[in-house]
Structure 1
Amino acid sequence: MRRLVPGLLVAALLAGCSTPAAPIQEGRTLSSPSAEPSTSSGVQIEPAAWKACPDVYKGIFSSPPQNVKYDCATVKVPQDWQNPDGSGTFDIALVRGRSTTQRDRVGSLFINPGGPGASGFEYGVYRSVLLPAEVVRRFDVIGFDPRGVGRSSPVRCFSTADLDANFGIDPDPQTDAAFGESVAVTRRLAQTCGDKYGDTLRYFSTEQTARDMDALRAAVGEKQLTYLGYSYGTLLGAVYAQLFPKNVRALVLDGAVDPTLSMQDSAEKQAAGFEHAFDNLTTWCKANATSCPIGPDPRAVVMKAIADARTAPVQGKGRKATAGWVFTAVVSSLYNESSWRVLAQAMQDLRGGNPDKMFELADSYAERDPQGKYTNMFDANAAVGCADSDDTPTVEQARALQPQWRSKYPLFGGALALNLVCAQWPGKRDPYPAGPATGSAPIVVIGTLGDPATPYEQAPALAKMLGVGTLITWKGEGHTAYPKTGCVNDAVNRYLIDLLVPPANLTCNK
């Protein structure tokens, strides 16, 4: 789940088993897709009209994937599920990856990569190749862009200049002048969305998207949903299970979000999570001096780099490596343990006057291409995140939290106290439900001990809230676990294919 870089809700969006899986309900498999219209929330949904789209791999893979064929479709859904006949429609883009060696088909596996705002369409193409082979052979892998994202009636209200300004501003402004600049930049972001979309901003909420998912399930002809959700995608899956518990076949929620947390509590837990992940990076640096050229105290190096960038940012190609960009690079590096080495080299290069590697890390997080253009990740991220919450701290409350959180979480606390876009958001709110999925089939929830973005303690909390959750713990680093380690893979594969639920509190070692 992507959260806060100055002002914006942002992304973000890797071992041995203790015991074998235990079987549950037998005989619960999906039927073959139907060609007849089906319904969701009382609305008739037309079947997805699939058409071959072999070129969707471009920009994701350098050459066409072998043994996978792609089809694409568009499904129309009501803009407002509370008023389906009077609100117009959104187009939801889907892609289906089907193995050319498919056998013993179970059904369709829907995937969401998180964000909110990340492209599930592109991620579906990616995962159709990189999921375990036994899963790909048994399922059609379905990726979709949620409403407002990418190819699905996208929200677009942030200019490139405003996004550059947002990412470049001081992540933890301490003077009144610097804080005022952050307020002004984020007010401009919020107001441009309000001017363009008005009251319809609430249509981009998570609950509306969860209802879309049931329409997509119906459109592809599945009686029940099989779903793999990462990060924010765990929240989307949890809301779906609460709304449509009888329509759940199997849900895997990896990198869990606790829906019961307030926005402020969630942000503070994430500040603690990133601090913990950075401490783990520090431990790695001390033990791997040859791979960590910035030495045994990377925290001091990073904090000095941010401080120096406030007054004398290094000039890069077309922009300066300001404090905001340096901070974004650090955040980006903590999502995956393999990026620690990259951050260390990037900080070393920055000390030598070369910010290129630092910008590569930051831009990968910001989804900014070499030409300086952005996807609509952050437009959608703000639209969804702000619509979802009616408990956002005010600008004044955020300012008061800054020094408190900075003292507890020195590197990340001050920045994560500031959700200034949602604090000034003009749209109406549509909070999601947070309660049990009564009547649902068992749901697998995965938490990673070293996860910075969705700290581990949210995973048992989500499993408990759902009432039908079973927890898998991975003693690993980075954001999310499947399919990165054999123990987790084995448990999840058996659950998805055979509906064998892992034993309670399964722990997978690093």
Structure 2
Amino acid sequence: MSGQPGAPSGGGGRALRIDTVAIIIFIFQSLVETLRRPPVFRSTTLLCALAATTALPPPAPPPAPPPGKAITAPAAEVPPLRFAACPASVPRPPAPDRVECGRLSVPLDWNRPHGRRIEVAVSRVPASGTPAERRGALLVNPGGPGGSGVPYAVTKRARLPESVRRAYDVVGFDPRGTGASAPADCGPMGGLFDVPAPDPVPAGPAAEGAYLSSLRALADDCAAGTGEALPYLSTEQTVRDMDALRAALGEPRTHFLGVSYGTYLGAAYVAAFPHRTGRMVLDSVVGPWDWHDFDVIQSRALLEARDTFFAWAAAHPDRFGLGADRAAVRRAYLDARARLADRPAEGVGPAEFDRAVYRALGRTERWAGLADGLRAYLRDGDPGGLRPEAGSDDPATRTYEAANRAVKCADSPAPTPGRVLADVRALRRLDARPLLTGLEAASCAYWQHRPTTRTPLGSPAAPPVLLVASAHDPVTPVRGAHALRALLPGSRLITLDDDHSHGVFASRGAPCVDTPTATYLTTGTLPPPTTHCPGPGLPSVD
């Protein structure tokens, strides 16, 4: 564009360049002539030549970048991002809002930017407010690892406070290895998708040996199916993709809302790009530990949540009919699981049962469905209420499970097989039938790509971020928020007390959480360092 401040334009610019060339030619000729003259005349001629150089105009400043364009990413690495209509699989927001989709080309390995490239799927719902209200682009991630962010931009945006919807383009993306972004393929995954699958809780040497063999087979299947991409389906590579997305969108900073694994992703972005970190909300925080350590912590928290569920169901014996005290409900639960282990029903065995329980414990609004499912199976033999929501034949489920293992095993050192068995035995000492569904990083014991360091998280050079947590979240226990906070100086923490669910902001209907979080995103004003909000308590029963 012509007419940039400080940059010549039109014919005057051409004339100036011609005059400059003429002066340089004059100086050169003068110096040559001086060398031919006697020494007495040389000094005078040189002084004239030097005086001529002062007439040269100063070099023009480089052209100013177009407004809103990032200036840090090389154009060769960040091609333009063009948006068009989304595929039918992406939900549509209600009019007048719209969603648009694009694909961003990035290197498979950012350390070899000119090597093989992959494409990252992106979606965007533009801000609904006026230009004066706009604050930029808000990247969102739903968790996992393995969750697809392209549809999440639509579904999460619909629940955000109106002030946030007016201020931000909400941008979703499928992290590499997930959804439509070079999806990971682990094939049969060591029998993980067998229906019904074997009992996932090993008891005794033979079962433990079979358990380790299944982990080895899963790792081998991922290595065979994913091939050379396996080491690069990592959080550290994904945050490089995020920064490329920031540049392609023309944003100077990355504003981000991450839930569950999205908090780990956000903290890794802070570590890699502290000076490009904008307003960041990390909701339901994954602690800064090796992935296997986190999985074990989660498994212990799930046992506590399950005991709370037993007591809650017992408090409503007329509604659920599972018993009038916690011990009675527990016996009913174990009876249902034992029957399904002996004789799976309609594709539901102990592994499917555990997956359904794992999912239900993460949100208290699912507890009634789990209790109803137990009653229906014990009374009528109907296992429908104990079936996982997504079947193993669902391509999205297969991609999710593959990406989950690939990312976890690329992010931190692996446990040894002996350590895996020791942790399983310790969990069984706490409860003979623990929930091992979340021990996903156990397969890293046999992974072919074995990192020696953990993904860096947080940075003292970054601006403060806002952490949000539920006091009794069994999926990402609140201790993870306190541990990550130590790596994010100046960060704030909002805790929803008396709550037992996973996912808080624009999810639990808590104004004490939603209002200050929205204020931070729209104005940059942070809440007090520590805020406790009253939670909803255990679910009511109609």
Q: Structure 1-normalised TM-score?
A: 0.84
1:92 aligns with 2:120: yes
Judging changes above 3 Å, is the alpha-carbon distance between structure 1 residues 447 and 373 closer, same or farther for their aligned structure 2 residues? closer
1:361-387 Cα deviation digits (max 9, x unpaired): x134x6754xx8734101111110111
Between 1:426-435 and 1:473-482, the stretch displaced more is 426-435
Q: 1:131 aligns with which of 157, 160, 164?
A: 160
Distance 1:232 1:481 in 2: 14
Q: Is the 8 A contact 1:56 1:125 kept in 2?
A: no
1:406 aligns with 2:431: no
Per the alignment, residue 291 of structure 2 pairs with 263
Per the alignment, residue 354 of structure 2 pairs with 327
1:233 aligns with 2:262: yes
Q: Is the 8 A contact 1:473 1:507 kept in 2?
A: yes
1:112-156 Cα deviation digits (max 9, x unpaired): 001000101111121122222221111111000001111111111
Per the alignment, residue 220 of structure 1 pairs with 249
Tell me by how many angstroms 1:43 deviates.
6.4
1:296-329 Cα deviation digits (max 9, x unpaired): 433322223223322222x21xx2x211111111
Tell me by how many angstroms 1:446 deviates.
1.2
Per the alignment, residue 487 of structure 1 pairs with 512
Q: Is the 8 A contact 2:279 2:521 kept in 1?
A: yes
Per the alignment, residue 363 of structure 1 pairs with 389
Q: Is the 8 A contact 2:305 2:474 kept in 1?
A: yes
Per the alignment, residue 3 of structure 1 pairs with none
Q: Is the 8 A contact 2:235 2:455 kept in 1?
A: no
1:424 aligns with 2:465: no
- Superposition pairs for residues 335-374 of structure 1, below 5 Å? 335-351=362-378, 352-359=380-387, 362-364=388-390, 369=394, 374=397
1:387 aligns with 2:420: no
Per the alignment, residue 81 of structure 2 pairs with 48
Distance 2:81 2:196 in 1: 39
Per the alignment, residue 464 of structure 2 pairs with 442
1:193-243 Cα deviation digits (max 9, x unpaired): 212334431101111111111111111111001100000110000010011
- 3-state secondary structure, aligned to 2:406: helix
Q: Is the 8 A contact 1:150 1:375 kept in 2?
A: no
1:228-267 Cα deviation digits (max 9, x unpaired): 00001100000100111110111100111112x2334322
Q: Is the 8 A contact 1:170 1:182 kept in 2?
A: no
- 3-state secondary structure, aligned to 1:45: coil
Q: Is the 8 A contact 2:292 2:442 kept in 1?
A: no
- 3-state secondary structure, aligned to 1:117: coil
Tell me by how many angstroms 1:271 deviates.
1.7
Distance 2:449 2:134 in 1: 44
Unaligned runs of 5+ residues in structure 2 are: 1-64, 536-542
Q: Which amino acid aligns with 2:333?
A: V
Distance 1:102 1:82 in 2: 40
Q: Which amino acid aligns with 1:394?
A: T
Per the alignment, residue 503 of structure 1 pairs with 528
1:8-50 Cα deviation digits (max 9, x unpaired): xxxxxxxxxxxxxxxxxxxxxxxx9957575448964123111
Q: Which amino acid aligns with 2:516?
A: A
Q: Is the 8 A contact 2:295 2:440 kept in 1?
A: no
Q: Is the 8 A contact 2:219 2:447 kept in 1?
A: yes
Q: Is the 8 A contact 1:276 1:450 kept in 2?
A: no
Q: 2:400 aligns with which of 350, 362, 377?
A: 377
Q: Is the 8 A contact 2:190 2:216 kept in 1?
A: no
Per the alignment, residue 111 of structure 2 pairs with 82
Unaligned runs of 5+ residues in structure 1 are: 1-31
Q: Which amino acid aligns with 1:325?
A: E
Judging changes above 3 Å, is the alpha-carbon distance between structure 1 residues 100 and 481 closer, same or farther for their aligned structure 2 residues? closer
Q: Is the 8 A contact 1:113 1:233 kept in 2?
A: yes
Distance 2:284 2:232 in 1: 25
Distance 1:478 1:244 in 2: 31
1:143 aligns with 2:168: no
- Superposition pairs for residues 281-296 of structure 1, below 5 Å? 281-295=309-323, 296=325
Tell me by how many angstroms 1:101 deviates.
5.1
- 3-state secondary structure, aligned to 2:515: helix
Distance 2:441 2:203 in 1: 15
Tell me by how many angstroms 1:507 deviates.
0.7
Distance 2:156 2:440 in 1: 34
Judging changes above 3 Å, is the alpha-carbon distance between structure 1 residues 160 and 457 closer, same or farther for their aligned structure 2 residues? closer
Q: Is the 8 A contact 1:38 1:45 kept in 2?
A: no
Q: Is the 8 A contact 1:242 1:433 kept in 2?
A: no
Distance 2:486 2:68 in 1: 38
Q: Structure 2-normalised TM-score?
A: 0.79
Distance 1:33 1:69 in 2: 26
- 3-state secondary structure, aligned to 2:122: strand
Between 1:39-48 and 1:378-387, the stretch displaced more is 39-48
- Superposition pairs for residues 180-195 of structure 1, below 5 Å? 180-195=209-224
- Superposition pairs for residues 309-324 of structure 1, below 5 Å? 309-313=340-344, 315-316=345-346, 319=347, 321-324=348-351
- 3-state secondary structure, aligned to 2:428: helix
Query: Comparing both structures, which one devotes a greater share of its residues to strand?
Result: 1
- Superposition pairs for residues 11-160 of structure 1, below 5 Å? 36=69, 38-40=71-73, 44-53=77-86, 55=88, 57-58=90-91, 65-85=94-114, 87-100=115-128, 104-159=133-188
Counting matched residue pairs gives 463
Between 1:48-57 and 1:69-78, the stretch displaced more is 48-57
Q: Is the 8 A contact 2:128 2:165 kept in 1?
A: no
Judging changes above 3 Å, is the alpha-carbon distance between structure 1 residues 278 and 331 closer, same or farther for their aligned structure 2 residues? same
Q: Which amino acid aligns with 1:300?
A: R
CA RMSD of aligned residues (A): 2.6
Q: Which runs of 4+ in 1 moved over 6 A?
A: none
- 3-state secondary structure, aligned to 2:505: coil
Tell me by how many angstroms 1:171 deviates.
1.9
- 3-state secondary structure, aligned to 1:450: coil
Tell me by how many angstroms 1:276 deviates.
2.0
Judging changes above 3 Å, is the alpha-carbon distance between structure 1 residues 238 and 367 closer, same or farther for their aligned structure 2 residues? farther
Judging changes above 3 Å, is the alpha-carbon distance between structure 1 residues 489 and 482 closer, same or farther for their aligned structure 2 residues? same
Judging changes above 3 Å, is the alpha-carbon distance between structure 1 residues 363 and 54 closer, same or farther for their aligned structure 2 residues? closer
Q: 2:232 aligns with which of 177, 182, 203?
A: 203
Q: Is the 8 A contact 1:123 1:143 kept in 2?
A: yes
Identical aligned residues as a percent: 32
Q: Is the 8 A contact 2:460 2:487 kept in 1?
A: no
Per the alignment, residue 338 of structure 2 pairs with 307
Per the alignment, residue 461 of structure 1 pairs with 483
